[in-house]
Amino acid sequence: MPDSPRPQVPAADQTLRILSLLARQPGPVAAQTIASALGIPRSSTYHLLATLEQHGYVVHLPGDRRWGLGTAAFELGGGYARQQPLARLGRPLVAALSDRVGESAHLAVLAGRDVLYIVEERAPRRPTLVTDVGVRLPAHLTATGVAMLAALPREQVRASFPDATAFTQRHGRGPASPRALRDLLREVRATGYAVEDGEVTPGFRSVAAAVRDHAGWPAAAIAVTWPADAVRADPERFAAAATASAAELSRRIGRPA
């Protein structure tokens, strides 16, 4: 994998690093400790902490001269926890999909430029997949990720993938530029589902459809994955089944019929 691109918004990078550092501590810490641990100038550290405090992400303990996480940071954690209802609602649908098509199926959500897998149902006598629960993979290489990217506003996709440095490659397959991604997403919007053919794991194929919330936002995606050499594989049937399951989960999370 290529080296990660340098942050294009240093202040944003430093802010996230501060939050990550505070989340790993057993208690509040001094600003000087934060600055030293992260290699950020002390003046910049104080400015960033002050901004985070205004928005409730950190709190200052004047008597101790220390900083800790604020309530807004815990609300972010609660947002992640709220994915669990999505997993609970999706799990029986993913299991039924796997039974219906006889192949493995999974449910994933977007996490920045990645997808995060929250449900997996492995079909009997099928090999273990890389898409285990908790695994993150580049969104532009996975069927689930591409299905969700195609459902996002084009402006947001451009902001997430501004240039070639944003495109991680695993096996030399998949889009490697904003133009290639735009072309791929145009195809997905036309067909209604995304296709993966060895971009993540050579020898495996997937199809996926987006799950949309009440506002039309891609809340998740459901996919079917199978060995590329499977004799009785029927990609069109798999795509139709995944699309139906995604539509049903969309309905269950509140999308109007």
CATH number of the domain to which 109 belongs:
3.30.450.40
Q: Is residue 5 part of a domain?
A: no
In a domain, 257, yes or no: no
Choose the final residue of a domain: 78, 93, 109: 78
10, 45, 93, 125, 257 from 247: Cα distances, Å: 40, 46, 11, 28, 9
With 60 as the cut, is the pLDDT of residue 211 above it? Answer: yes
- Choosing from 52, 78, 104, the residue where a domain stops is 78
Q: Do 55 and 140 belong to one domain?
A: no
Same domain, 115 and 93: yes
- Read off the DSSP letter of residue 216: S
- For residues 152 and 38, membership in a common domain is answered with no
CA distance 222 to 25: 36
pLDDT at 154: 84
Same domain, 114 and 130: yes
* Averaged pLDDT for residues 126-146: 84
21: CATH: 1.10.10.10
pLDDT at 206 over 90: yes
pLDDT tens for each residue of 69-125 = 887 776 666 565 556 788 999 999 999 999 999 999 999 998 878 898 999 998 877
DSSP string across 148-207: HHHHS-HHHHHHHS-SGGG---SSS-S--SHHHHHHHHHHHHHHSSEEEESSSSTTEEEE
Domain extent, residue 108, equals: 82-252
The yes-or-no verdict on residue 1 having pLDDT over 60 is no
30, 141: one domain: no
Are 186 and 160 found together in one domain? yes
Q: Is the pLDDT of residue 175 over 50?
A: yes
Integer Cα distance of 187 and 55 in angstroms: 41
* Domains in the chain, number: 2
Using the 3D structure, point to which of 78, 94, 123 is the last residue of a domain: 78
For residues 220 and 105, state if they share a domain. yes
- Does residue 132 share a domain with residue 26? no
Contact 158, 181 (CB under 8 A): no
Determine, yes or no, domain membership for 226.
yes
Q: How far is 205 from 22, CA to CA, in rounded Å?
A: 41
Q: Is 43's pLDDT higher than 90?
A: yes
Q: What is the mean pLDDT of the chain?
A: 87
Mean pLDDT of 34-57: 94
More reliable by pLDDT, 6 or 141:
141
Q: Are residues 136 and 234 in the same domain?
A: yes
pLDDT digits (tens, 9 = 90+) for 221-248: 999 999 988 878 899 999 999 999 999 9
Residue 237 in any domain: the answer is: yes
